[in-house]
């Protein structure tokens, strides 16, 4: 036995070497398999009637990481609306003129901390000329204030009284972490391959599935049909197709990811199209789709000429928003912390002045 092992050319030694290799490989494989198991084991919460399978599955560790990311920022107390108005005190105030100087300055300091805490006032202002509109960031910011007011005043069916501030999207960064551009259209070559519709190109947008990886252009910019169920039992004049359904599934996958929920958060999967069996969250989501589309069309696209080239996408379009821009993995952005409560300046002025008038 021992003489055998001493002899390196004996077949026995080779077998044990191979056995050891197999053993190591086996351990590695087991390790790979076990990393598939979640730690700690997930918890499930029922969100619909028994037997409908409407459950949300949570992993406490991932939930905790998300909770840390979704803490609302500290709000500087308001100095009140007394005193001279910003329109009187400053030279080039186009939209914030009705605020008191105190409210105006609180908003400037807060905006700085929400959008450009590293860069400070100089991110938007050509110091020391605060009135100059020379930096594109200031021109964008003015439009962003109007957009934020529009969201808080006109999109209550989606954002309710919770509302948003710049922080909901920006989280202390000049460029929000979740934005999207139109994808580069696939060039048609001399081959006979059709457009692959952004499929089979793994993308986190659709959770690495083989669904079309730009469901945003048709649904959150253009107004393409999302419903896929045919209106008639027989294919008489029914234009719905599996191809069309794949685009809808792409959007739905993004929505689930953006909110950190399963399909069953909004659907009873017995019938995806049925509204009477859907929880109220689906109606909120319906408004959310229209809101995202409106914001992209009315606000983001109108800024195309203002943004410098290096901020634009491969086809020269401006950055746009989707569900993840605000939600960032939470079913309510910042876990539902009321944002507009402390900043009535971010409601449309008409609403603020009626409040003042009734005082």
Binding mask 166-195 for ligand HEC (x = CB under 6 A): x-xxx---xxx--x----------------
Among 63, 75, 76, 226, binds ligand HEC (CB under 6 A): 226
Distance of closest approach, residue 305 Cβ to ligand HEC, in angstroms:
14
Binding mask 270-289 for ligand HEC (x = CB under 6 A): --xx-------xx-xxx-xx
Burial-class residue 30 by CB neighbours within 10 Å (0-12, 13-18, 19+).
exposed
Q: Select from 10-18, 25-33, 56-64, 329-337 the region that touches ligand HEC (CB under 6 A).
A: 329-337
Choose between 234 and 242: whose C-beta lies nearer to ligand HEC: 242
Q: Residues near 49 by Cβ (< 8 Å), separated by ≥ 6?
A: none
99 touches 85 (CB < 8 A)? yes
205 contributes a contact to ligand HEC by CB under 6 A: no
**What is the C-alpha to C-alpha distance for residues 123 and 125, in angstroms, rounded to an integer?**
6
**Residues in 230-259 that interact with ligand HEC by CB under 6 A:** 248-249, 252-253, 255-256, 259
Among 325, 330, 347, 352, binds ligand HEC (CB under 6 A): 325
**What is the C-alpha to C-alpha distance for residues 152 and 165, in angstroms, rounded to an integer?**
9
**Residues in 120-139 that interact with ligand HEC by CB under 6 A:** 120-121, 123-125, 130-131, 137-138
54 contributes a contact to ligand HEC by CB under 6 A: no
50 contributes a contact to ligand HEC by CB under 6 A: no
221 contributes a contact to ligand HEC by CB under 6 A: no
Distance of closest approach, residue 38 Cβ to ligand HEC, in angstroms:
19
Distance of closest approach, residue 215 Cβ to ligand HEC, in angstroms:
10
Query: What is the phi-psi region of residue 340: left when phi exceeds 0, alpha when psi lies from -120 to 50, beta otherwise?
Result: alpha
Burial-class residue 128 by CB neighbours within 10 Å (0-12, 13-18, 19+).
exposed
**For the chain, how far is it from start to end, CA to CA, in angstroms?**
101
Among 111, 211, 221, 347, binds ligand HEC (CB under 6 A): 111
Distance of closest approach, residue 294 Cβ to ligand HEC, in angstroms:
10
Choose between 213 and 249: whose C-beta lies nearer to ligand HEC: 249
216 contributes a contact to ligand HEC by CB under 6 A: no
Q: Which of 101, 97, 108 is nearest to 84 (CA)?
A: 101
> Within 10 A of 221 (CB to CB), how many other CB atoms are there?
20
Tokens (6 digits) for 63 = 């939930």
Q: Within 13 Å of residue 88, how many CA atoms lie on the same side as its CB?
A: 8
On the question of a cis peptide bond just before residue 128, with omega within 30 degrees of 0, the verdict is yes
């Amino acid at each position: 036995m021992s003489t055998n092992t001493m002899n390196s050319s004996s077949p026995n030694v080779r077998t044990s070497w191979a056995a050891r290799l197999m053993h190591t490989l086996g351990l590695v494989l087991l390790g790979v398999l076990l990393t598939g198991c979640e730690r700690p084991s997930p918890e499930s919460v029922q969100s619909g009637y028994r037997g409908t399978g409407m459950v949300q599955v949570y992993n406490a560790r991932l939930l905790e990481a998300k909770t840390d990311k979704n803490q609302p920022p500290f709000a500087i107390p308001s100095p009140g609306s007394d005193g001279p108005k910003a329109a009187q005190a400053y030279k080039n105030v186009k939209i914030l003129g009705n605020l008191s100087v105190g409210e105006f300055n609180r908003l400037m300091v807060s905006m700085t901390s929400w959008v450009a805490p590293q860069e400070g006032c100089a991110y938007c202002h050509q110091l020391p000329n605060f009135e100059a509109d020379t930096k594109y960031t200031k021109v964008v910011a003015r439009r962003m204030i109007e957009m934020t007011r529009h969201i808080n005043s006109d999109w209550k069916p989606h954002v309710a009284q919770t509302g948003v501030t710049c922080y909901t999207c920006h989280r202390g960064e000049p460029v929000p972490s979740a934005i999207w551009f139109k994808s580069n259209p696939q060039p048609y070559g001399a081959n006979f391959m059709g457009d692959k519709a952004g499929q089979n190109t793994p993308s986190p947008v659709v959770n690495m599935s083989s669904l079309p990886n730009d469901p945003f252009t048709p649904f959150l910019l253009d107004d393409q049909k999302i419903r896929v169920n045919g209106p008639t039992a027989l294919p008489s004049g029914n234009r719905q197709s599996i191809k069309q359904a794949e685009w809808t599934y792409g959007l739905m996958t993004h929505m689930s990811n953006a909110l950190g929920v399963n399909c069953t958060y909004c659907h009873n999967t017995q019938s995806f199209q049925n509204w009477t069996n859907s929880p109220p969250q689906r109606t909120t989501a319906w408004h959310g789709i229209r809101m995202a589309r409106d914001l992209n069309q009315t606000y983001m696209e109108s800024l195309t000429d203002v943004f410098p080239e290096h901020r634009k996408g491969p086809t020269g379009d401006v950055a746009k928003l989707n569900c993840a821009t605000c939600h960032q993995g939470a079913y309510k952005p910042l876990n539902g912390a009321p944002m507009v409560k402390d900043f009535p300046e971010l409601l449309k002025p008409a609403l603020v002045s009626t409040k003042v008038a009734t005082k």
